[in-house]
Chain A
Amino acid sequence: MPFVLQDVDVKFGDRNVLAIESLAIRPGSITVVMGPNGAGKTTLLKVLAGLTNPAHGSLAYGGAQITPENVALLRHKVCLLHQTPLLFDTTVFENVAFGLKARRVPKADILQAVMQALAVVGCLDLMKRRARELSGGELKRVAIARALALNPEVLLLDEPLANVDQMTTKALEEVFGEIEKGGGTLIFSTHDPRLAHRLAHEIVVLTDGRLSPSPYENLFAGRPLTEGETSWFDTGRVRIAVPPALSNTGHISIGSDEILLSREPLQSSARNVFQGRLTRIEERTKGVLDVAVVAGESFTVRLTHQSLQELGLTVGDPVYITFKSTSVKPL
């Protein structure tokens, strides 16, 4: 686990801007922090970057607790790209070289790394220019190169794709590719659910500084289709019956509270009944479990510990899942 947060609270004055009971972020993944403006996305990124000290709670990276004494080590592995990045009032070269100099990289290697990073974002010709003379798009690309040159284990990006031109989007995609290829971890914030679902392996949803049970559980991409009177959503692995209004969406989600688990197929009005196998049981909160069922796609079903005991189910058992078509929500 690169990041594990436990009971992290951040306060600005008396206001609690972030209160996270428990959060773990897998290495080598793309995690998206989603939520409306003011939900605490930027604050969470700053905590992960070692820039904001939680009022209490613990942050661990790579198994080591982060303290004010060793936060400098974290900052050498993790880099945050601000939503509106700032370039220092010097040359483009000095900007991109800044972090390398802080790491005492030999001079000859610095030039090479700077040129390489600038080339990735298509800004090699700007190297000798002063940062203040750049256009908005150039500024953002140079800031991206500045982070890329450090080859961080974790790259944190605050709303990276908000208000950016096409070249910057392309540069960012290059960077995402480079980080992924190197086994690095990407964490970025956005309020755009479509973008989140296109790129993310994991989605963290924040509302008023707290982790929300994701409204996007059992999230599937696919295409809607209509056969006669029936509307379906085809994920490529399963066909899910949906209300007719869903004919336009490329993503759906089904609340894990709304899926029933049973040993035998249920006789009910619910249109979706799938046979599958129980593959994992995890305690979500005290007495409440998340159970993974693979039935073509992998579904998460939430139920109490007591219900599961009464059903007498365990990992590996064949099970049925049942949900109504009206439980299927578009994104």
Chain B
Amino acid sequence: MDYLWEGLVQAGILITTFNPEVYQITWLTLQVSLGATLLASAAGIPLAVLLTEGAFPGKESVITLVNTLMALPTVVVGLSVFAFLSRQGPLGRLDLLFTPTAIVIGEFILATPIVVALTIAALRGVDPRVRETALTLGASRSGAARRVVLETRYAVVAAILAGFARVVAEVGSALIVGGNIRGYSRTLATAIALETGKGEFAFAIALGLILILLSLMTNISLRVLVPKA
């Protein structure tokens, strides 16, 4: 059991002495997971509004599909993105494989269904009078939709947080499409997997602690930042 205790002490030292590698990995993780969550929200929330308010054939099937995609295995996403971005793939010429951008793409695919599905659930729970009231007061359709999203903002923020939680600690896709390249495309989760495998418990535990702290900080700051309007 000594090595566990030793690992914790080492982790404390790595964090408090601002070990450059630890902070580089943390910074990259924050960038890719926040970037992916942001993109997933930008695409997912309007999509959820369309799927809630729109009337078109097959709408319920699309919603069922989105709900299913919430459970998409990360390695399958990694594999698909890899196939598209690899040299022989249709997007191979973009040279994105084993870059942070590739990680963002994979994580975007993982986070979007979660943001969409949970936002739909939130929007369906909104009092129908919100939309009607906005419309009768003269709001445009998009203005009314914006008001509906604002009325349910706590639930929508929860959907965004769930999307973030899905990607911040994600290993499968990030490992496959990011390549876990030291100092370039290594995230907290992929680094933990690697360091554990190498027996570098102190480093792995330090990264694990930071990962948990990161999630905590993100949750707290988003809660505080929820618009009051």
- Min CB distance, B103 to chain A, in Å? 37
Asked if A86 CB lies within 8 Å of chain B CBs, one says: yes
Residues in B neighbouring A86, C-beta threshold 8 A:
127, 129-130, 133
CA distance A142 to B68 in the complex (A): 44
Asked if A99 CB lies within 8 Å of chain B CBs, one says: yes
Q: Please pick, from A75, A84, A85, A90, the residue contacting B138 in the complex, using a CB distance under 8 A.
A: A75
Q: Please pick, from B132, B134, B229, the residue contacting A82 in the complex, using a CB distance under 8 A.
A: B132
- Min CB distance, A323 to chain B, in Å? 44
Q: Which of A24-72 contact B (CB under 8 A)?
A: 46, 49-51, 72
Interface size class of A (residues with CB under 8 A): 20 to 34
Residues in B neighbouring A50, C-beta threshold 8 A:
135-136
CA distance A72 to B144 in the complex (A): 12
Residues in B neighbouring A90, C-beta threshold 8 A:
150, 228-229
- Tell me the count of chain B residues lying within 8 A, CB to CB, of chain A: 18
B132–A88 contact, CB under 8 A?
Answer: no
Asked if A242 CB lies within 8 Å of chain B CBs, one says: no
CA distance A283 to B228 in the complex (A): 58
- Min CB distance, B125 to chain A, in Å? 14
Residues in B neighbouring A49, C-beta threshold 8 A:
136
Residues in A neighbouring B137, C-beta threshold 8 A:
79, 98-99, 102, 146-147, 150
B140–A102 contact, CB under 8 A?
Answer: yes
- Min CB distance, B181 to chain A, in Å? 47
Asked if A329 CB lies within 8 Å of chain B CBs, one says: no
Residues in A neighbouring B130, C-beta threshold 8 A:
86, 88
Residues in A neighbouring B133, C-beta threshold 8 A:
82, 85-86, 88
Asked if B28 CB lies within 8 Å of chain A CBs, one says: no
CA distance A51 to B133 in the complex (A): 9
Q: Which of B136-184 contact A (CB under 8 A)?
A: 136-140, 143, 147, 150-151
Interchain Cβ contacts under 8 Å between A and B, 5 examples: A80-B132, A88-B133, A98-B137, A99-B137, A99-B139
| 5 closest A-B pairs by CB | A99-B137, A86-B129, A102-B138, A80-B136, A102-B139
